[in-house]
Amino acid sequence: MIETEQVIRCGHCKKPIIQKSKQRPRLYCNDVCRQLDYRRRRRERTQAELLHTVKVRWGGYLPATQQLLNEIMQGHGEPLAVRVAATIASEVAADLPTKGAALEEQLKQDLEERLEELYRTDTERHHFKKWLQQHPQPNDVDFAKRFLADSRFQPYQSRSWHIARLTDRQGYTDEDRAVFVELWKDMLFEGRF
């Protein structure tokens, strides 16, 4: 019998991953993809919360509608007012999935743009090491471990100060630098939205 070979695609970029060993299957191309996927999942939770708030707000009738329903009730009796209210409710409900999806996409883009802007304009010093210690990263991303153990990095410094020291000579790779950028963005993003 021929063993079926399962193609595993990267959890972030969806490219097929060549499995090198027979041990544990690799789920991401590299640590950058792993880190980006981790952030996406976390951000999706934030988006879901925002969306929920908006939907709840839509659920209630606007004051003008309430007033109209009141007038209908006084002029034409309660049964008609109830019917009108129910019709409006089903109209809104039918429209929600469309509006919801568009809103979700908009929120996603807005958050992404705000994050990029935040990152681009950030020149401040931050307690990055402390932040990293308090926010355990996925186990397999070993950049965080190496970085925290590296005493050459001061606890309170700017992004450019860090990047200037994450050199090949200091033992850091392109992938490490990319992971650092994503972590720094996570730190900036956190608690802002």
Backbone angles phi, psi at 183, to 5 degrees: -65, -40
| Closest approach of Zn ion to the CB of residue 29, in Å | 3
CA–CA distance, 97 with 58 (Å, rounded to integer): 12
29 part of the interface to Zn ion, by CB under 5 A = yes
| Closest approach of Zn ion to the CB of residue 14, in Å | 7
Tokens of 146: 């190496």
DSSP-derived letter for residue 137 is: P
Classified as helix, coil or strand, 139 is coil
Q: Which of 2, 9, 13, 105 binds Zn ion (CB under 5 A)?
A: 13
- Closer Cβ to Zn ion, 13 or 103, answer by number: 13
- In 3D space, the residue among 56, 63, 61, 64 whose CA is nearest the CA of residue 87 turns out to be 61
- Closer Cβ to Zn ion, 36 or 166, answer by number: 36
183 part of the interface to Zn ion, by CB under 5 A = no
CA–CA distance, 161 with 180 (Å, rounded to integer): 12
36 part of the interface to Zn ion, by CB under 5 A = no
Tell me how crowded residue 156 is: count the other CB atoms within 10 A of its CB. 11
- What radius of gyration do the chain's Cα atoms show? 25
| Closest approach of Zn ion to the CB of residue 35, in Å | 11
Q: Which residues contact 40 (CB under 8 A, 6 or more apart)?
A: 12
- Closer Cβ to Zn ion, 30 or 47, answer by number: 30
Scanning 33-41, 58-66, 77-85, 176-184 for contacts with Zn ion by CB under 5 A, the matching segment is 33-41
- Closer Cβ to Zn ion, 29 or 144, answer by number: 29
Q: Which of 31, 33, 69, 189 binds Zn ion (CB under 5 A)?
A: 33
10 part of the interface to Zn ion, by CB under 5 A = yes
Residues that bind Zn ion (CB under 5 A): 10, 12-13, 29, 33
